[in-house]
């Protein structure tokens, strides 16, 4: 073999970060919005009212303005995004609010948004831009409930270990805007919803709790979830659910007849983008799943077991390779540390690997925020445990205290991106080097 034909060893840590960057880039609104905009001919004499919510919504609105080919006089709107995720627009107003626990700014924005779509005609088109985080950013409670009620329920659900689907089921039945109610308010206008999915399975009703789609779940389902996780809620919340007042819109509701939904970016697309980067580096990628759920620490242990089997036995695949996965794990919070589901996963995985010299990993949230920290996630190196012990940090104690951010930050292994202006959920990659 000629020297020029020798493949240089792969820098595993650099490869992991390039794959994460590619996953985030694949879901940028400027890439996925233009092909789905209505044309001026389709709009006709009507107006284009742009509304929406989510961590990507401001960037989505900017992409609409940049690629809309019709008259700017037809274009107006309001979208709500997370604090720090604002993108300047000329015709669409951008409002910032709190995530993951809603605040008064989000509630005020939701009230304004609902008023904006009142009195539309069949000639008008509502372009609804929805991405992950929209549930918290549009906290409009049903009659009889307050923002404080919704905040308390939200906090309890986030700590309970409930899945995102279960959390959103409860949210839909306490909301005056979710569960199809926003689309109903737009009637008789046409509603086109563009979704950037951040949920396992890409079910539209779970993305921002489905403000423009029918909901097959019921108030009884929401009550079952509250009972299942032993969530203590206010009597007013129970009354709304027990009375049926919180029932969401179903598929046969005539007000949803002109509502169309398109999913324009998904976790699977992000994983495929990362896989392409791996192939270019000469490392074979294997996508294990785009909708993996479960307790983050348990998923970490399972992934460690798979990685060890590959490294030690060459089963079910042979190294060098990278194992890719996405989805949304959960954390049942028992400690007082600074954590998030991605660093929780990574720390549990690192402990289970025991410092294997050929296994590297990254886990991060594609929105740039893991938990409530402005930290996307972290990288795991083979020497992580040894370095932690040298610093006087006990990895198992950090895990028990849900202190994943504290653990990886101490070693300089945090992944900090700043606002990414998109969200296709969690990204995990495990590089297993050749023996």
Q: For residue 204, give Cα distances in angstroms to 4, 101, 132, 171, 199.
A: 50, 21, 11, 14, 9
Answer for the pair 78, 116: CB distance below 8 angstroms, yes or no: yes
Answer for the pair 226, 233: CB distance below 8 angstroms, yes or no: yes
Q: Which of 158-162, 166-170, 272-276, 319-323 has the lowest mean pLDDT?
A: 158-162
- Between CA 92 and CA 362 the distance in angstroms is 36
pLDDT given at position 401? 98
Sequential DSSP letters for 204-255: GGGGGG-TTS-----HHHHHHHHHHTT----HHHHHHHHHTTTPPP-TT-GG
- Between CA 186 and CA 181 the distance in angstroms is 9
What does the mean pLDDT of the chain come to?
Answer: 95
Domain ranges, ordered by start, for the chain: 8-25+268-432, 29-140+175-214+249-265
Asked if pLDDT for residue 164 goes beyond 90, the answer is no
The HSE-up count of residue 49 (CA atoms within 13 Å, CB side) is 22
SS3 (DSSP) at 3? helix
Query: What architecture is the 29-140+175-214+249-265 domain classified under in CATH?
Result: 3-Layer(aba) Sandwich (3.40)
Span 85-93, mean pLDDT?
95
Which CATH number is 8-25+268-432 given?
A: 3.40.1480.10
Asked if pLDDT for residue 310 goes beyond 70, the answer is yes
Asked if pLDDT for residue 8 goes beyond 60, the answer is no
Bridge partners of 48, per DSSP, are: 75, 125
Counting residues of the chain whose pLDDT is more than 90, the rounded percentage is: 94
pTM listed for this prediction:
0.90
- Between CA 214 and CA 148 the distance in angstroms is 26
Q: Do 8-25+268-432 and 29-140+175-214+249-265 come out as alike in CATH topology?
A: no
Answer for the pair 344, 399: CB distance below 8 angstroms, yes or no: yes
Strand 359-365 relative to strand 321-327, pairing: unpaired
Tens-place pLDDT, residues 208-258: 999 999 999 999 999 999 999 999 999 999 999 999 999 999 999 999 999
Biggest alpha carbon–alpha carbon distance for the chain: 77
SS3 (DSSP) at 78? strand
Tens-place pLDDT, residues 350-379: 999 999 999 999 999 999 999 989 999 999
Counting residues of the chain whose pLDDT is more than 70, the rounded percentage is: 98
Asked if pLDDT for residue 6 goes beyond 70, the answer is no
Tens-place pLDDT, residues 13-49: 999 999 999 999 999 999 999 999 999 999 999 999 9
Span 312-330, mean pLDDT?
97
Q: Give the confidence band of 9 by pLDDT, cuts at 50, 70, 90.
A: low
Phi, psi at 18, each rounded to 5°: -65, -40
Q: What is the CA radius of gyration of the chain?
A: 23
């Amino acid at each position: 073999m000629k020297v020029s034909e020798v493949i240089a060893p792969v820098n595993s840590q650099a490869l992991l970060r390039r794959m994460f960057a590619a996953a985030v880039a694949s879901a940028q609104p400027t890439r996925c919005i233009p092909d789905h905009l209505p044309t001026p001919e389709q709009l006709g004499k009507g107006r284009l009212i742009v509304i929406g919510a989510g961590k990507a919504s401001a960037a989505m609105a900017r992409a609409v303005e940049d690629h809309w080919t019709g008259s700017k006089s037809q274009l107006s709107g309001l979208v709500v995004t997370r604090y720090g995720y604002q993108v300047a627009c000329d015709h669409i107003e951008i409002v910032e609010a709190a995530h993951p626990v809603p605040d008064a700014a989000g509630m005020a924005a939701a009230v304004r948004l609902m008023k904006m779509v009142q009195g539309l005609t069949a000639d008008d088109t509502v372009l609804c831009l929805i991405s992950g985080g929209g549930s918290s950013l549009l906290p409009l409670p049903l009659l009889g409930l307050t923002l404080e009620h919704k905040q308390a329920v939200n906090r309890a659900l986030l700590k309970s270990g409930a899945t995102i689907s279960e959390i959103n089921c409860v949210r839909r039945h306490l909301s005056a805007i979710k569960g199809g109610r926003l689309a109903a308010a737009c009637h008789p206008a046409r509603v086109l919803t563009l979704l950037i999915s951040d949920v396992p399975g890409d079910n539209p009703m779970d993305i921002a709790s489905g403000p423009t789609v029918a909901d097959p779940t019921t108030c009884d389902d929401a009550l079952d979830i509250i009972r299942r996780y032993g969530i203590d809620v206010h009597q007013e919340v129970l009354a709304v659910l027990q009375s049926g007042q919180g029932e969401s819109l179903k598929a046969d509701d005539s007000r949803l007849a002109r509502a169309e939904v398109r999913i324009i970016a998904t976790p699977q697309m992000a994983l495929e983008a990362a896989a392409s980067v791996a192939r270019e580096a000469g490392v074979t990628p294997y996508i294990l799943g785009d909708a993996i759920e479960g307790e983050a620490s348990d998923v970490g242990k399972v992934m460690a077991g798979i990685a060890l089997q590959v490294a030690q036995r060459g089963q079910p695949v042979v190294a060098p390779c990278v194992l890719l996965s996405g989805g949304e794990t959960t954390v049942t919070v028992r400690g007082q540390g600074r954590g998030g589901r991605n660093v929780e996963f990574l720390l549990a995985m690192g402990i289970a690997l025991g410092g294997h010299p050929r296994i590297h990993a990254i886990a991060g949230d594609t929105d740039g925020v893991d938990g409530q920290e402005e930290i996307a996630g972290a990288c795991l190196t083979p020497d992580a445990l040894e370095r932690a012990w040298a610093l006087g940090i006990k990895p198992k104690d950090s895990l028990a205290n849900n202190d994943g951010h504290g653990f990886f930050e101490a070693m300089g292994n945090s992944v900090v991106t700043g606002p990414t202006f998109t969200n296709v959920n969690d990204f995990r990659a495990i590089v297993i080097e050749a023996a």
